[in-house]
């Protein structure tokens, strides 16, 4: 099997249903590798659900060896408790990715929709229809959480493969990397 130029793990975080998708990029062609959800019972303690999220993200990383991890940022709703739970779920997923030294990129929901459909206010059905068309997918998944995760992965692909985004400069992993990549920006007193 031909090695992919990039493998991207996209996640739509949730404290009850977490969507995930893995795509492989071969030049200009993108293929769906897998897409599904993790169902987290509301009858289980929140900390047990968080552990389940961490475990599943770790399993996905070990199984598919993604190069990068993209996640949807939580949108700000009126229910503070829901936002806290969603933030925790997102944090645990990010921590699992970072534990495996993946670069992490977060995208706002409007940015994801804009990247996939051209409309930042598109509904879930419009996003799914565009993904079906672009990736030639026949079957409709049971949960839009999975398609949302696929949209996040595609958004990341579009953002990182764009000539405007990809200027050849490498993303610094810390101040030491930044200084090494930008020696002319250091001012000595």
- CA 176, CA 150: separation in Å to the nearest integer? 33
12 is catalytic: yes
Round the average pLDDT of the chain to a whole number and report it.
Answer: 88
- Catalytic hit among 5, 51, 59, 72: 72
Q: Is the pLDDT of residue 169 over 60?
A: no
* Residue 111 or 179, more confident: 111
Residue 171 pLDDT grade (very low, low, confident, very high; cuts 50, 70, 90): low
Taking residues 24-39, what's their average pLDDT? 95
Short-list 109, 151, 153, 141, CA closest to 37: 141
67 is catalytic: no
CATH code, 6-166: 3.30.420.10
Q: What is the pLDDT of residues 36-92, one digit of tens each?
A: 999 998 888 999 999 999 999 999 999 999 999 999 998 766 778 888 888 899 999
Asked whether residue 148 is marked as a ligand-binding residue, the answer is no
139 is catalytic: no
pTM: 0.83
Asked whether residue 72 is marked as a ligand-binding residue, the answer is yes
- Catalytic hit among 5, 12, 148, 177: 12
Asked whether residue 145 is marked as a ligand-binding residue, the answer is yes
Domain boundaries of the chain, sorted by first residue = 6-166
């Amino acid at each position: 099997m031909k090695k992919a130029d990039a493998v991207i793990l996209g996640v739509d975080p949730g404290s009850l249903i977490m969507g995930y998708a893995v795509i492989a990029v071969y030049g200009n062609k993108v293929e769906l590798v897998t897409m599904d959800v993790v169902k987290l019972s509301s009858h289980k303690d929140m900390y047990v659900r968080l552990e389940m999220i961490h475990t599943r993200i770790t399993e996905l990383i070990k199984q598919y060896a993604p190069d990068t991890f993209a996640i949807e940022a939580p949108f700000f709703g009126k229910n503070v408790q829901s936002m806290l739970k969603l933030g925790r779920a997102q944090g645990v997923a990010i921590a699992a990715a970072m534990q495996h030294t993946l670069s992490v990129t977060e995208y706002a929901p409007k940015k994801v929709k804009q990247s996939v459909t051209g409309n930042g206010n598109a509904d879930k059905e419009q996003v799914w229809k565009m993904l079906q068309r672009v990736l030639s997918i026949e079957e409709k998944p049971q949960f839009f959480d999975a398609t949302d995760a696929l949209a996040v992965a595609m958004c990341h692909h579009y953002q990182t493969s764009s000539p405007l985004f990809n200027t050849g400069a490498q993303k610094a992993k810390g101040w030491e990397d930044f200084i090494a990549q930008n020696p002319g920006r250091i001012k000595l007193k």
